[in-house]
Structure 1
Amino acid sequence: MNPFTYQHAADTSAAIKMASSHAAAKYLGGGTNLVDLMRETVERPEVLVDVTGLPGVIGQRPNGPLMIGAAVKNTALATDMYVRSAFPMLSRAILTGASAQIRNMATVGGNILQRTRCRYFYDTAARCNKRDVQSGCDARDGFNRYHAILGASDSCVATHPSDMCVALAALDAMVHLDGPTGARAIPLLDLHRLPGDRPDIETELRANELITAIEIPPLPFAQRSTYRKVRDRASYAFALISVAAALDVDEKGTVRDVRLALGGVAHKPWRAFNAEAALKGRVANEENFRAAAETELAGAVALRDNQFKIELAKRTIVAVLGELKGREG
């Protein structure tokens, strides 16, 4: 691990000022990803700005959005009673995401900005365009069971590792930011980038910007939502495929509205807009669920080791929607 200095920020403005004063500074939340990357010399910050002292509040606004401070711990968010009742997909996504010890340390802001767990990204002896632009991508012809089937490029086939972000993508969450140029908010769906020819640029964050809060707009039918994660072992494993879904069905059995997002399939949380459009106004049955899944995965491109993920994604979408439809009855 390279030498670095440590600074503790008392508030957001102090954190931004500290980070802006150094060319190679990083914000430190729970450190559950950043410290690993520093240990492997993938990340080499000269200064760590500790932002764990910033407000970590979960605020419920009557008939309005849910505001979540970026410093809120994952465990606190997953176990919050309002979150569990109003947005069960979010609670379930977080609880499948890591061990209890990691959830107790990890922050919401850090979870959103965690970097891929691609083994070639972590291995500094391997070629990785995310670490070293135009060096090549050893994952394409290497072990790629966990890699992307949607939105990938010749430069990068890595996937985004967060479970929480998949639920936030389905819920139309907004990310509140602050930085040297002032405060702003952007949709979570626009925060992460697809790799293109610059997989090293992972988000739309500006220099030294800091996530301050997450906003989730009201969505009444999200009370009937869930998150399913398919993985190689029962606990503490990254998703092969995951699905966050909420379903609203009228008294005639027709889909009024639906939210679908996928994890384990792309460089960013993947909102299944094509599947949503295919379902709205259609009868909520297995045949239409399968047709919607086929529509969403029509553009999927498999690698040598992950062809199975295309069919697995379709079957998981159908199973999750079927589960939610059953609850409607």
Structure 2
Amino acid sequence: MSDPRTVSLGLDTFGDVTHDAEGRPLADAATIRNVVDQAVLADEVGLAFFGVGEHHRPEFAISSPEIVLAAAAARTRDIHLGTAVTVLSSDDPVRVYERFATLDAVSNGRAEVILGRGSFIESFPLFGYDLKDYELLFEEKLDLFTRLLEEKPVTWRGRTRAPLESADVFPKTENGLKAWIGVGGTPESVVRAAQHGLGLMLAIIGGPADRFRPLVDLYHRSLASFQRATPPVGVHSPGHIAETDQQAWEEAYPGFESMGNTIGRERGWPPYSRMRFQHDVGPEGAVYAGSPETVARKIADTVRTLGAQRFDLKFSTGTLSHDKLMRSIELYGTKVKPRVEELLAE
């Protein structure tokens, strides 16, 4: 079981384009400014991490997370700032490292990067990459990025970008850059994270948490076989918090329905329904929505089940308004966090 003194609670957002009180979508610019305000509140209520996802589609306003995080860094003091996730496959590892090393400097050592292949594919044609190279792009770029983390001159050759010969990259960080791999549930991705000695961030967006316990066990076995240290295990799951279960569910459902149907039309899923939502917020689902007590108990159960060291709540889904997101953050920090710590200490 995880030591409650080492379990930290964070937040993730994709910068979902929210609606105003009249139900009209906000401008992307307003959504981005709101995300910075959300990070500031997260810091004020004592949360450990604020993550911003990278997307290149109309439902999400943030395509350059590091710039948003740098703005948040200037207005926060303690909270760690990172991505959820950075799509490394369609970016350049050298530039990713340089941007996050710069963020680490302006935030006084609070930068983290969560690397992933991306569950959306818009960035690949946008930046000129062929989807048939999906696996190769991530494998090679991750190999190069982990070498850059050592902050020494790098010699590297591959098929997906120009070679490097004793290349030194700047700026250097003061204490190193913390990096994770975001994993959707494939054993190959888990072994890859262990091979490179990076933290494992499990994106659990469907089903019960105990379904992922074999992957955590595989991760620890793989770390041992590669003779690696033991980086942390984290969980990323969606949710929403309000004063009561019913209020949280009523507030959250329209956003989940909107996003579920938008993505579902692209991927051939059935229409999202109230029945599906009520299952997802229940014990066997991956949505952490409800009162502070309900959400705290579900998080504590997940942390115990997986031996996780961090839980990141993806607090924005669909069109849920900024004021409700702010209230959810406030309750998460002031009510859920201390209650999770109490439950884990019992």
TM-score range, shorter chain: under 0.3
Higher relative contact order (CA 8 A, sep 6+): 2
Bigger fraction of residues in helix: 2
TM-score normalised by structure 1 residue count: 0.25
TM-score normalised by structure 2 residue count: 0.24
